[in-house]
Structure 1
């Protein structure tokens, strides 16, 4: 951007341990994307693990340590060097992400790609141990989610398959030094961002990407009024305000602050049991009421039913691992918010538009993806419970990522305006009632929040 307005800017690379500058692009010898050629007073090489090593003008050592031998200095940076000697820096070795498939990803590289492709103010990539990386991206202009998704799809198409972004969380507010998320010079404080990730994701607008696009594919840009592949994004956008009632529940902050105890966790699981046990019956009721023009939706419900059957029993097993009497819970009563949520969905299916059922899918599966696994890990660490007490949270955090991609494609195939509106209105109501349940979870120290009036 500086070059575009006539500034003679050249990228270089250096570190204090080498007396500052190691490599530099200069007029007549520069290569875009690189940090230039090594200067004459140093030698540079990249080892077989892509670590940048420097020799020739390095420090004697760190204060309090034994002096170092005059040998190759491991900079801790990752990069490459081409046949002409131009050096490229990709990131820090200590920040390296390793996917569940064993592929190494430098987050700084992907962050740079996001900033360039989206014009993002800030970008932080995460996903160590996950199948695909995700990112938290700060966009400060007024572009719509549709516009951002189009740019992300183009970016993903040009990335190697292992580095394609599966989920991107859009924020309008910058990460700040005051909250401990960036350093004074603007670099991300990764350990703090990782610790706060559940809250940061909950405060963001999620975009879940289709990873099946082959690299090099030409992507059709959406145009205003284009209805193809657009309803899912409209559903996300038009329920954003209602969604804040879920993501703003005090329990999320309480977990982050270590104020969540066994009483709160078992109370949440009890409510989960009382709505999850209705998931399959609701799907069966919906399938029986769908018109013939939505036969493809009925077929999708068959797949959903096969995958969801019996999940309520997982929750009872989790509760038993927490020391609860699962048979007493099986025959107990839910909180009013959950009872109303389930009753509302049966009513919409029977007396309204049966497609309204998918408003619940939008809420519950989306919430699982954002919160289930990271919050489950935080809760387990705080309470010291065995893995057997978290089968519901951990399985749904993983399962629902695949489910939600399936759901996104299914929603984009629903084109009737009345069906679409029924789903949007149901999602808003379920966000309200499910959020009421989350707001009612008993919390340590502050006790149980004053209940919200039932809708």
Structure 2
């Protein structure tokens, strides 16, 4: 990696770090997360979280696959394909967790997206349909960061507050344990993708959009 390219990658990393700090701080003000952090989570809160995450996660492998099909860089395309393969069945864990938390499997399978999930999915598919959509690495940074940094602690708090068995929080627990590997893949992809200032800016922009839309998805749990 040349010194110039390294500078652009570092600029992207600094921008992403700033967005993450703002995102994590803002999450604490979202009603459902505030209740979780305050030890006041209700079982209906958790079932609503699972229900709405399932609808988002179903689309995850699809937009990653679409993005891969539009990438001209062979190594990047391979990384996206590997990521899609790792993610595309995660919705089954959410269904199992929902049932273990007292929900009905047919209900979660027949669910629809909330307003935030609709906006998030629409943006993802739009971005993935563009030529060489490397900006989506910013979106992956936010989503995988949630798994790596927050999912594990959230799983532990949910179990403690609601008295649920491990099989009711396996989606969050799995991502808390495994998304570090996904972030390592992200770092590799970022180094391949960011070759100039414009790409670094695009990655940061996508991260900022997804941070806001993901928060909107969680905010809407109290409006459905």
TM over 0.5: yes
Cα displacement (A) at 1:386: 1.2
1:236 alignment partner in structure 2: 16
Matches of residues 56-455 of structure 1 in structure 2 within 5 Å? 226-227=6-7, 230-240=10-20, 243=23, 244-291=25-72, 294-351=73-130, 354-414=133-193, 415-442=195-222
Give the unaligned 5+ runs of structure 1. Answer: 1-222, 443-447
1:405: how far off?
Answer: 1.9
Aligned-residue CA RMSD (Å): 2.4
CA deviation profile, 1:77-107 (whole Å, cap 9, x unmatched): xxxxxxxxxxxxxxxxxxxxxxxxxxxxxxx
Cα separation, partners in 2 of 1:423 and 1:224, compared to 1, 3 Å? closer
Task: Answer yes or no: is the 8 Å Cα contact 2:136–2:206 preserved in 1.
Answer: yes
Distance 1:425 1:331, change over 3 A: same
Runs of 4+ residues deviating >6 angstroms: none
Tell me, in whole angstroms, the C-alpha distance in 2 between the residues paired with 1:263 and 1:416: 47
Deviation at 1:418, TM superposition (A): 3.5
Q: How many residues align?
A: 220
| TM-score normalised by structure 2 residue count | 0.87
Structure 1 pair 256–240 and aligned structure 2 pair: CA distance change class (3 A): closer
Determine the C-alpha separation between the residues in 2 that align with 1:412 and 1:301.
14
Q: Summarize the alignment of residues 17-56 of structure 1 with structure 2, pairs less than 5 Å apart.
A: none
Structure 1 residues 242 and 352: CA distance shift in structure 2, 3 A: farther
Q: Is the 8 A contact 1:349 1:356 kept in 2?
A: no
- Which one has a bigger Cα radius of gyration? 1
Higher helix proportion, which one? 2
SS where residue 297 of structure 1 aligns? helix
C-alpha displacement at 1:224, in angstroms? Answer: 9.5
| Runs of at least 5 residues in structure 2 that lack an aligned partner in the other structure | none
Offset at residue 416 of structure 1 (A) = 3.7
Which structure has more strand as a fraction of its residues? Answer: 1
